[in-house]
Amino acid sequence: MPRGDEKAIGLVLVTYQSAEDLPPFLATLPGAVEPYTVEVVGVDNVSHDGSADIVEEFGGRVIRNPRNVGLSAAINQGAATTNTEWILVANPDTQLEPGAIAALVDTAKTDDRIGMIGPQILRLDGTPYPTGRHFPSLAVGIAHALLGGIWPGNPATRRYFGKTVTTVSDVDWISGCCMLFRREAFDAVGGFDDRYFLYFEETKMALDMHRAGYRVVLDPTVEIRHREGGSMRSAPYRKVRAHHRSALRFYCDYHKGSPWLLLAPVVAVGLAVRGLLAVARTAVLQRVSRRS
């Protein structure tokens, strides 16, 4: 049964050194949810830049964690304190268009089986940011990992990102920077898998939704803006490690019970190599940035 006010949306806003992004995000929030009301819950993972204070000044309730518990666990913390039928998870480095979140709720209301829904995402310059993606096969995953950074238009990356859709469509998974959940579905799958400290948490959530019989939907008529790369500004090396660790974890979860699971050690080696290359690339970029 629905829990709480069906006209209210519970926003779970996880912050970590997010002071630069929060003001423009929060400025767009009221117009994005009207005519619905929004209950803001900030969960701060030990920021040192006043992120939690900014959320409180906006009128949100804040949970200040004594340590960084990771994104998935923090989302679950915030969701547990809300009493709304709809749960919105959005990154501070997004900016919401007027009516965007209200439109997602209205689309989700058309079918009780829609458990997870997201908008079309644009970068700040207006170019599309990939969402509505496919769960990658082993071959596509390897090719995308190897070629995506140097040949963005390669066939594997295009397959991974999925086709552009123009109407409300079922997809494998949606970008984690903006996700709306039906409370009943969120609770049915037990929330986010907190083994995922950072990255692939939305992919695993979508997999859990599919396995529980819910629809994962992209509504391309709704648009938001995303500051690409904003989440990598702090602790980039830790985030590179977390990304590759979560990628391996998802591979194992996705192929659980399948013969493909036997290839997990091979995948682990490949991800380790790719991770080392990513660390080296990050070091070079930081060095160039300091010189400029």
Structural domains of the chain in order of their starting residue, each with its CATH number: 5-229 (3.90.550.10)
| Amino acid letter for position 114 | I
In contact, 213 and 112? CB cutoff 8 Å: no
Q: Taking CA 89 as the corner, what is the angle to CA 241 and CA 208, rounded to the nearest 5 degrees? A: 70
| Amino acid letter for position 86 | W
Q: Taking CA 92 as the corner, what is the angle to CA 47 and CA 37, rounded to the nearest 5 degrees? A: 115
pLDDT in tens, the chain (292 residues): 345 567 899 999 999 999 999 999 999 999 999 999 999 999 999 999 999 999 999 999 999 999 999 999 999 999 999 999 999 999 999 999 999 999 999 999 999 999 999 999 999 999 999 999 999 888 888 888 778 878 888 998 888 888 789 999 999 999 999 999 999 999 999 999 999 999 999 999 999 999 999 999 999 999 999 997 655 556 688 888 999 999 999 999 999 999 999 999 999 998 998 888 888 887 887 887 777 6
